[in-house]
Chains A and B, each alone.
Chain A
Amino acid sequence: MDAIYQLIHQYCPTMPDWLTLALIVFLPIAIVMGVFLTVFAFLTWVERKSLGRIQNRRGPNRVGPVGLFQPIADGLKLLTKEDIVPAAADKLVHFLAPVLVVVPAFLVLAVVPVAKGFVAVDLNIGVLFALAVSTGSVLAQFMAGWASHNKFSLLGAMRGVAQVISYEVPMVLAAVVVLMAAGTLSSVGIVEAQRGLTGWFVCKPWGLVGFVIFQLCAMAEVARTPFDLPEAESEIVAGYHTEYSGFKFALFQMGEYVAAITMGGITVTMFLGGYLGPGCDMPKYGWLISACWFFAKLAITVVINIWARGTWPRVRVDQLLAFAWKLLLPLSLVNIVAMAVWHFAPNKLVGWVESAVLLAVAIVALVKFNAGQSFEKRSYRFTT
């Protein structure tokens, strides 16, 4: 906001106040929507290409140079497809669900600082807002599953609700560490609290553990592949969006991908130093350099998502829930204690050692405690 105001003030000082105000309000929203929708479109291309390469295929390469226009072709195709509503569906809810699933994903973008001085709304409860709103998409999922009047849809929706509720808890507890360290709920404040050579929270023991927990929970929250039970293709057709076709299906896909991007943005903001990086404070092009830093870090989370999707098979429901409640939740609680130890340590070295040892012991103990329960080996009758 400040950056836009300065730009207007610098290049167009005669602009009337109401136009300046309108620009300050709507320009960031337009930019954020435009940029992230473009990112979403080409993320689908990047993901399909990367998954292809992981499987020794080429991926889409027919539309445009190296298949770059594939997302456009996909969008056009989905736009022109027939929109089917099941006869037994609850028409209104069935129609509202795909709209609602996109809204939270975009709302969260409002508090993600994309560049220095560039955040759509700098709420003083930014992180709380992000965590609260991002959960809202599960409501849309359940609406879709319920309204479709299809057992696969309902199963997928139930799984989605169970999963999101379970993973929301360790996710928020992992975020608490960051809030304790930064002393603020504002997303810009959190980023600014990570200045310095090893200032990023991920460079600290509690931050590293918090980052891993948060990233895993984010993947579960947006139903990325190791945790994609709500839409498990091999089990329940397409889960809650089984009965959606055409552009409504596209909206579900869009909601999912944009949610993945925004969760990545939140992760970057909280643990990877947001837009911070060498050159982000330069007077004239600082905003551009800091934006590049932000998107480079966002790319890391995206790579983690794609790599995990290309590698790991889907977990079972019991494994999924056991992992959240028996491992991630206690670990995130211990992590808060580790943060407190760090905070009250006499100096940094002692804090490092103490919190690291505490976390290591906790991890080993939790793994021992859970061994043989959540990840038991399956036996098959007809294999040797």
Chain B
Amino acid sequence: MSNILGKGLVEGLVVTAKNFVGSYFDGKRKYRMFNYQYPEERMKLPENSRTFPFLVYDGTPDQLRCTACKICESECPPQCIYIVKDSDANGKPLQRPRVFDIDTSVCMQCGICAEVCPFNAIKMDCDFERSAHARFDDLITHLPVLLKSNDYYHQIKSAEATRVDATRKPVKKPAAATAPTAATPKAPVAVAPAPAPINPMPTPSDISNEDERAAWQRGYQSAIGDGEIVWPPPVVVKKKEAGTKPEQSVTNAPSPAPSSGGAPWHDSGLDLAKRMEMAAGRALADKLMAAMAQLDCQACGFDCRGYAESLAAGATKDFSLCTPGEDATKNMLEKLLKEAGKL
């Protein structure tokens, strides 16, 4: 009896009739109807959905988590992120971006920037209404548009945001509370306390080593590409108040074995092994510096050279502060310090 002609046809008719009637009356079904009446109703996207990245801030917008370390910029596959590190009136770099642009017409919404960010500063949004009138004026999103509060993050992805809040290490911004806020009234947050002297980049005329020249050229190219950085860089004048804080006195103290011949490893494009090879045979501070992520992100409170010298001098004991370098840098620093008998 299972092969009556037309049985399948009738069964099909019953199915469609059930759906027809059910779309009017059956409130028990999970989905009575599938469509959202879009301008009136909006679908709440699931937590794991993602559209474009945004920058998270805690409390007020100037407490943004981003330290302009540029890891996302370098990791972004379509290169749609553009960051310029902020600096104060004296040219001293600050731990925050002055320019943070994301070209949403290029962004492919892969979420890699959110994955690599060591500060949980950049996260993927759920906002699907991003149409705009002009490609170049409206689709390149600037900092004010990108900034969204942690509350908003909780709102769209509560589970993930709670998880992040629980595991997030308090961002190391040493002595931020004691920083002289009067000096920078417009930027109350994230002022690097002590200007660790920025190592002046070698100019082409005084480079003899071929490796060093290549490294310099890479750096120069990236600087030209930015269009914001002028060469030669503004000379950083050592402040008169140097020595008023313990860390400053340390960083300004002469290194046990002063480095010589610049720092060819100071290029985040090189991997750790290559950098260590370049620094082989140098002083401890140089080797330590070569182990850093070379981003000068100041997540540790110094630039890379400053942190290395501080570690070498024993003024800073914690070797886990290089967040961008992650475990590789941490392990390498531990190994180097042990070899030197500093631990």
Q: Given A312-B9, A367-B5, decide whether A57 and B16 contact each other with a Cβ distance below 8 A.
A: no
B13 near A58 with CB under 8 A, answer no
Q: Given A53-B19, A56-B23, A367-B5, decide whether A311 and B12 contact each other with a Cβ distance below 8 A.
A: yes
A58 near B35 with CB under 8 A, answer yes
- CB closest chain-A residue, reference B14: A311
B residues less than 8 Å from A56 (CB atoms): 19, 22-23, 31-34
**B1-33, CB < 8 A from A:** 3, 5, 9, 12-13, 15-17, 19-20, 22-24, 31-33
A residues less than 8 Å from B24 (CB atoms): 53
Q: Chain A nearest CB: distance from B315 CB in Å?
A: 68
Label chain B's interface by main secondary structure: helix
A94 to B292, CA, bound (A): 76
A residues less than 8 Å from B20 (CB atoms): 50, 53-54, 310
Considering only CB atoms and an 8 Å cut-off, how many residues of chain B contact the other chain? 19
**A306-322, CB < 8 A from B:** 307-308, 310-312
- Chain B CB within 8 A of A55 CB: yes
Q: Given A53-B23, A367-B5, decide whether A310 and B16 contact each other with a Cβ distance below 8 A.
A: yes
B34 near A57 with CB under 8 A, answer yes
A307 to B14, CA, bound (A): 10
B residues less than 8 Å from A311 (CB atoms): 9, 12-13, 15-16
**A299-341, CB < 8 A from B:** 307-308, 310-312
- CB closest chain-B residue, reference A368: B5
Considering only CB atoms and an 8 Å cut-off, how many residues of chain A contact the other chain? 15
B residues less than 8 Å from A308 (CB atoms): 13
A310 to B16, CA, bound (A): 7
Quick one: CB contact mask for B43-71 with A, threshold 8 Å, 1 for yes? 00000000000000000000000000000
A residues less than 8 Å from B37 (CB atoms): 58, 61
A57 near B35 with CB under 8 A, answer yes
A residues less than 8 Å from B33 (CB atoms): 56-58
A56 to B22, CA, bound (A): 8
A367 to B4, CA, bound (A): 9
A53 to B37, CA, bound (A): 15
A residues less than 8 Å from B12 (CB atoms): 311-312
A residues less than 8 Å from B35 (CB atoms): 57-58
Q: Chain A nearest CB: distance from B40 CB in Å?
A: 11
A residues less than 8 Å from B5 (CB atoms): 367
A residues less than 8 Å from B13 (CB atoms): 307-308, 311
A311 to B37, CA, bound (A): 25
Q: Chain B nearest CB: distance from A67 CB in Å?
A: 12
B residues less than 8 Å from A371 (CB atoms): 3
Q: Given A311-B12, A311-B13, A312-B9, decide whether A54 and B19 contact each other with a Cβ distance below 8 A.
A: yes
Quick one: CB contact mask for A17-61 with B, threshold 8 Å, 1 for yes? 000000000000000000000000000000000100111111001
Q: Chain B nearest CB: distance from A362 CB in Å?
A: 13
A50 to B17, CA, bound (A): 10
Which of A56, A307, A367 counts the most chain B CB atoms within 10 A?
A56
- CB closest chain-A residue, reference B6: A367
Contact of A54 among B9, B16, B31, B32 (CB under 8 A): B16
- CB closest chain-B residue, reference A366: B5
- CB closest chain-B residue, reference A50: B20
A residues less than 8 Å from B34 (CB atoms): 56-57
Q: Chain A nearest CB: distance from B32 CB in Å?
A: 7
B residues less than 8 Å from A58 (CB atoms): 33, 35, 37
**A250-299, CB < 8 A from B:** none
**B190-209, CB < 8 A from A:** none
A residues less than 8 Å from B23 (CB atoms): 53-54, 56-57
- CB closest chain-B residue, reference A304: B13
Q: Chain A nearest CB: distance from B5 CB in Å?
A: 5
- CB closest chain-B residue, reference A310: B16
Q: Chain B nearest CB: distance from A77 CB in Å?
A: 20
- CB closest chain-A residue, reference B5: A367
B residues less than 8 Å from A55 (CB atoms): 19
A308 to B24, CA, bound (A): 20
Q: Chain B nearest CB: distance from A371 CB in Å?
A: 8
A307 near B16 with CB under 8 A, answer yes
A53 to B24, CA, bound (A): 8
B residues less than 8 Å from A367 (CB atoms): 5
**A200-228, CB < 8 A from B:** none
| B interface list, Cβ under 8 A from A | 3, 5, 9, 12-13, 15-17, 19-20, 22-24, 31-35, 37
For the A-B complex with A55-B19, A57-B23, A308-B13 known, give 16 more contacts whose Cβ atoms are closer than 8 Å.
A53-B20, A53-B23, A54-B16, A54-B23, A56-B22, A56-B32, A56-B34, A57-B34, A307-B13, A307-B16, A307-B17, A310-B20, A311-B9, A311-B15, A311-B16, A312-B9
**Interface pairs (20), CB distance under 8 Å:** A50-B20, A53-B20, A53-B23, A53-B24, A54-B20, A55-B19, A56-B31, A56-B32, A56-B33, A57-B23, A57-B34, A307-B13, A307-B16, A307-B17, A308-B13, A310-B20, A311-B12, A311-B16, A312-B9, A371-B3
Give the 9 A-B CB pairs with smallest separation, nearest first: A53-B23, A311-B16, A311-B12, A367-B5, A54-B16, A53-B20, A54-B20, A56-B33, A310-B16
